[in-house]
């Protein structure tokens, strides 16, 4: 039997980062929004572990062995469920690699879902979430999908009910930024003393209602100055995205993918057209309102 699971990429509509703690982590408050751009993981039983990667994005940086977070997810689930079987994993990537959109985390989450089904472990959501949090701070959200507020390391999630999707353009940059390097630059620049305790109610209301005009001035990413400091061309790209008509442009997570907020799907198409005319690779997408767990196929 073969099982395929998928998990979406994300952007952070808001990201507030506190100063480095003695634990080695930064406390966060973030508004996670899954977007309609999915990685797929197909799993089947085999004599030995193997991992294949292909996709519509450049996968040059993606490891094919135990360094791959999907492989680590398979190991973690096997250990938890007492399974000794090996599996062949096939990853089909559509989320930009090392782009701040949690592509690796999506593969880990999809692997947990696929193997839970293949091995008939029957794990409940909270056990899967617990396993996910051992694999990386963004993996719990990749498993959750849709929209959520993340606290602590981004792994303590509160679901947000979305009434209407938002529409975006995505501009994946040529280069990659290491998440660790961006946080180190953030620490060097000027980390904020403390993280806000809650998302501004006006932000939350605009996000839930899909009210792009109300949300635009409230969009915020504490890591953006650090990402721009390491990759100054991102500032020019932000200006180009806004000049093309986006209500706001921002770095996704630690970057370097940038996203622009549009009024609606048609407006996103117009912005993308203007950016492509300037030679900038641009994808149109929107908030994903689907639950990854319900997309399994056998």
Nearer to ligand ATP, 100 or 140 (CB): 100
Nearest to 224 by CA among 10, 9, 18, 17: 17
164 is catalytic: no
How many of the chain's residues bind ligand ATP (CB under 6 A)? 21
d(CA 157, CA 92): 27
Catalytic residue among 39, 107, 138, 222: 138
User: Segment 134-193, which members bind ligand ATP (CB under 6 A)?
Assistant: 138, 179
Q: Return the structure tokens found at 120.
A: 């008939």
Give the other-Cβ count within 10 Å of 177's Cβ: 24
113 SS3 class: helix
Q: Which stretch binds ligand ATP (CB under 6 A): 23-31, 100-108, 209-217, 288-296?
A: 100-108
Alpha carbon 94 to chain centroid distance? 12
Residue 70 binds to ligand ATP (criterion: CB under 6 A): yes
The residue to which tokens 């620490």 are assigned: 187
Q: Using the 8-state DSSP alphabet, how is residue 27 labeled?
A: -
Nearer to ligand ATP, 172 or 260 (CB): 172
User: Segment 227-256, which members bind ligand ATP (CB under 6 A)?
Assistant: 253-254
138 is catalytic: yes
d(CA 21, CA 218): 27
Q: Which stretch binds ligand ATP (CB under 6 A): 96-104, 161-169, 229-237, 264-272?
A: 96-104
Q: Which stretch binds ligand ATP (CB under 6 A): 18-26, 82-90, 97-105, 207-215?
A: 97-105
Q: Return the structure tokens found at 152.
A: 């602590």
User: Active-site positions?
Assistant: 10, 138
Which parts of this chain interact with ligand ATP (CB under 6 A)?
A: 61-63, 68-70, 91, 97-105, 107, 138, 179, 253-254
């Amino acid at each position: 039997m073969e099982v395929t699971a998928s998990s979406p990429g994300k952007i952070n509509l808001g990201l507030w980062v506190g100063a480095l703690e003695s634990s080695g982590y930064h406390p966060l408050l973030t508004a996670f929004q899954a977007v309609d751009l999915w990685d797929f993981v197909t799993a089947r039983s085999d004599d030995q572990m193997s991992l294949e990667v292909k996709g519509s994005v450049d996968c040059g940086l993606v490891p094919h062995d135990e360094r791959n977070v999907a492989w680590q997810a398979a190991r973690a689930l096997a250990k938890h469920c007492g399974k000794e079987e090996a599996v062949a994993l096939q990853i089909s990537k559509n989320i930009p690699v090392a782009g701040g959109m949690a592509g690796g985390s999506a593969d880990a989450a999809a692997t947990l879902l696929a193997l839970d089904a293949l091995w008939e472990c029957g794990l409940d959501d909270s056990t899967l979430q617990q396993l996910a949090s051992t694999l990386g701070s963004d993996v719990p959200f990749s498993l959750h999908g849709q929209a959520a507020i993340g606290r602590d390391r981004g792994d303590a999630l509160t679901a947000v009910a979305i009434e209407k999707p938002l529409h975006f353009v995505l501009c994946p940059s040529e280069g990659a930024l290491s998440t660790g390097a961006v946080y180190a630059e953030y620490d060097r620049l000027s980390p904020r003393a403390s993280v806000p305790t809650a998302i501004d109610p006006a932000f939350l209301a605009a996000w839930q209602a899909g009210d792009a005009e109300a949300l635009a001035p409230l969009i915020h990413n504490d890591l953006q100055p650090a990402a721009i400091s390491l990759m100054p061309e991102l500032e020019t790209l932000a200006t180009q995205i806004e000049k093309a008509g986006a209500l706001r442009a921002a770095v996704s997570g630690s970057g370097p993918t940038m996203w622009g907020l549009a009024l609606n799907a048609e407006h996103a198409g117009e912005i993308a057209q203007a950016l492509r005319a300037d030679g900038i690779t641009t994808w149109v997408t929107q908030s994903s309102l689907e639950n990854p767990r319900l997309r399994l196929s056998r």
